[in-house]
Structure formats: structure tokens, C-alpha cells
Amino acid sequence: IVQYLMSLPKEYDIDPTAEDNEALRRAADEGHLEVVQYLISLPKEYGIDPAAEDNEALRWAADEGHLEVVQYLISLPKEYGIDPAAEDNYALRWAADSGHLKVVQYLISLPKEYGIDPAADDNSALRVAAYQGHLEVVQYLISLPKEYDIDPAAKDNEALHWAASSGRLEVVQYLMSLAGE
């Protein structure tokens, strides 16, 4: 359907970049890799910008757990401006908030030059994962090597407070098990 719409004559004014590339952002949000690839493959004169709105396509794909879309966007040549660490590592934080462990692991596995910092914003990825009850994400983040500077007690034990306030017993128990270490 997208290909058909793009093939319509100019008088129909089909603009894939309308609303700051919303077609691309929505396709990424829904995990439609083929549509994302097609839109990005359009000739340069269309002005498709996969990094529009501070890399929102990447953030939305990460938030929804669409690992293949995340990987594709990050694999684009540098001139596309994809920055997985944009907005203080929002892609990672949104993936953690939604419990998408594979996306979290992939982002953290990227080479250092991408600037992924799982401890960004006082360990917010850990805090939001704890709040949402995503025990596997919490455990993974805490298991990272010391150089990542993950601190389960950051912001005066906010991960514990948030897990408790949202009734996440398993996360509370896990965090409390760390107190004796």
C-alpha cells in the first residue's frame, strides 16, 4: 500500500515526510521493518529523515521491543544521524521501561562510540524497570560489569521505592537480597 501511495502522481501530494516523518516513526513503532526499509530507500529528494524528532523512530521501536527495526536503524550509515544515545539514552530507558530485555542487551552491547550508558540519568533505566516490575531487566542491569556504574541504590534507593510503590514484590525481594552483599 505504501509503495502504491508513493507511486501516485504528484498532484495527489503524497508526502512521506509530513508531520516530521511520522509515517516512518509509526512504521517503526508498529515493527513494520519492510515499510521502514522502503521509506528510507526512497530517493534523497523525498527528504526522509530516520533521525527526526531526536531519533523518535528508534525510541518508539525500542519501546515496543522491535529488535529488528532497532538493529536496522542503528546499522544505517552515519550520514542518517541515528543516535541510539539521544535524549540521554531514551531508547535504552524506554526498552527497560517496557521490559524488552533483548533490546536492552543489544543496545548495551553496541561499541562504546555509540555512547550507550545504562547508568544515564542516575540509573533511570534500572529505576523504570524496577517500577514496572521487569525483574529480568533489573537483574541484567545489575549484573553488568562495574565499569557500567550501575547503582541499585541511586537517588536514595529510588529503584526500591518505585518497585515497592508499584507493588513489585519480586523486584523488591531481589533488591533487598543485594543489601547483604
CATH of the domain at 1: 1.25.40
pLDDT exceeds cutoff 80 at 4 = no
115 and 78 within one domain: no
Domain membership of residue 1 (yes or no) is yes
138 and 61 within one domain: no
Number of domains in the chain: 2
**pLDDT > 90: percent of the chain:** 82
Find out whether 132 and 171 touch, Cβ atoms under 8 Å.
no
Mean of pLDDT values over 122-138: 98
**What is the residue range of 68's domain?**
1-83
40-61 burial, b at 16+ Cβ within 10 Å, e below that, comes to beeeeebebebbbbebbbbbbb
pLDDT tens digits, 33-78 = 999 999 999 888 888 899 999 999 999 999 999 999 999 999 999 9
Domain membership of residue 105 (yes or no) is no
Domain membership of residue 60 (yes or no) is yes
Inter-CA distances, 28 with 36, 90, 127, Å = 6, 15, 25
72 and 13 within one domain: yes
Comparing 48 with 89, which gets the higher pLDDT? 89
1 and 76 within one domain: yes
On average, the pLDDT of the chain sits at 91
179 and 137 within one domain: yes
Predicted confidence at residue 16, as pLDDT, reads 64
pLDDT exceeds cutoff 50 at 134 = yes
Domain membership of residue 6 (yes or no) is yes
- Comparing CA positions, the residue from 87, 91, 77, 7 lying closest to residue 40 is 77
pLDDT exceeds cutoff 80 at 128 = yes
pLDDT tens digits, 151-168 = 999 999 999 999 999 999
Domain membership of residue 93 (yes or no) is no
